[in-house]
Structure 1
Amino acid sequence: MPYGRSQVSARQIIVDILQRNGVEPIIPEEFVAGARWADEMLESLRLSDFIIADLSEFNPNVIFELGVAHGLRKPFIILISSESEGQIPSDLSGYQYLTYNPHDSYELHERLTRFVLSMQKRLTAGS
């Protein structure tokens, strides 16, 4: 889908970019709730080549998932909306992050596409 300068959800853009580039997105909210959720999340992080995490709502689960990704030495990028209430926690400020305007989906699409392509190139070079 072409992106104009209108509001499209960040999740929709992420999924579209990944699928267009042959990457299967794994979305934790689609896991079954309960004790198995943690097992599914940990396994999906372990199997992932890279992580895209949106911290715009400062969900503690996302912080935990980033900690796991870091422990597994998975490359990741943090997304944060320019309209979010807070800032990136100081412990994460040294990592790669992308601030996006939720009303300008074109910019997010372009910048995130570059990240995904660079991750694919990096993974291909490491094979």
Structure 2
Amino acid sequence: MTNKKKETEEADLRAKICFVIMPISNQSGYESSHFSLVYEDIIKPAVEAAGMKAVRADETVNTNLIQLDILRKVIESDIAICDMSAKNPNVFYELGVRQAFDKPTVLMIDDVTPAPFDVSSLRYVEYKKDMGYRDVKLAIEKLTQTIIETYEKKDDKSEINSLIRLMELTTPAQLNQTDISAEDRAAIQVNELTAAVHSMQVTQNKILKSIESDFSRSLKVKTYDSRTNSISIDDILEEALNNPTKQRKLNLDFSKSKSI
């Protein structure tokens, strides 16, 4: 390991952690890579310019209990950034948890998303959705300054950083340091796996129904179930596999299923 690389790694370990709460999956009305670009082109440069290290949920790989690990970072990170653009429910859930503990948080939102009423009275950084060069540069500058100011004033109770302070609640939530038993850990893992399998089954059922509907309109010879008066999925799949064009469509739809 070179001295420069070692110094960089040591600096990363010393850096304050800035946990980034933002949409990770594709959002309606946005290109598929939009929020990855927001993270890479605006948020990370701003966090690094403030002398901190940015960490996003999809970079959390410390344990198999991903949800618990994310929540701990939401609560325990030195500072957090929350991008409210697209009004993603998961984002607001994590923001709510963060604010319940009255931890320093920088809010940001793009110029096409109306500021949610519940947090409209709090300060936030606005950036342009189309992310032109000059707009990105300006957004980085504004976000960097806001990160520095927010962290420096984290103990100043006169600063309105969360709804806790806005409502003048005197006792924010606190995290009890309790260990999870092996049984509870296994139960959580089973629940996560069950939810993932269920989600996959729902997605595949939707795709099969879509294929059935599409093929039933194009089949010349249809085989119907006498009880349901509907086309058999076995016949649809057989017809598809004997037809190169439909086979390509079938393969494409199932490949989409695996990527979800």
TM class by shorter chain equals 0.7 to 0.9
CA shift, 1:53, in A, is: 0.8
User: Based on CA coordinates, which of the two structures has the bigger radius of gyration?
Assistant: 2
Q: TM-score, normalised by structure 1?
A: 0.76
TM-score, normalised via structure 2 length: 0.40
The CA deviation at 1:124 is 9.1
Q: CA deviation at 1:37?
A: 2.3
Greater share of residues in helix: 2
- Cα distance in 2 for partners of 1:21, 1:89 equals 27
More RCO (CA 8 Å, sep 6+): 1
107, 118, 121: which one aligns with 2:138 = 107
In the alignment, structure 1 residue 25 sits paired with structure 2 residue 25:
no
Structure 1 match to 2:21: none
Distance 1:120 1:68 in 2: 18
The count of corresponding residues between Structure 1 and Structure 2 is 115
- Unaligned runs of 5+ residues in structure 1 are 1-7
User: What amino acid is the match of 1:10?
Assistant: V
Cα separation, 1, equivalents of 2:117 and 2:76: 28
Q: Post-superposition shift, 1:62?
A: 0.5
Q: CA deviation at 1:23?
A: 1.1
Q: Which runs of 4+ in 1 moved over 4 A?
A: none
Q: C-alpha deviations, 1:21-50, integer Å up to 9, x for none?
A: 331212012235xx8222011110222122
Amino acid in the other structure paired with 1:121: E
Q: Does 1:122 align with 2:153?
A: yes
- Is it true that 1:91 corresponds to 2:118 in the alignment? yes
Shift of 1:121: 2.8
For 2:39, the aligned partner's letter is R
| Bigger shift: residues 91-100 or 14-23 | 14-23
For structure 2, the residue ranges without an aligned partner over 5 or more in a row are 1-35, 157-260
Percent identity over the alignment is 27
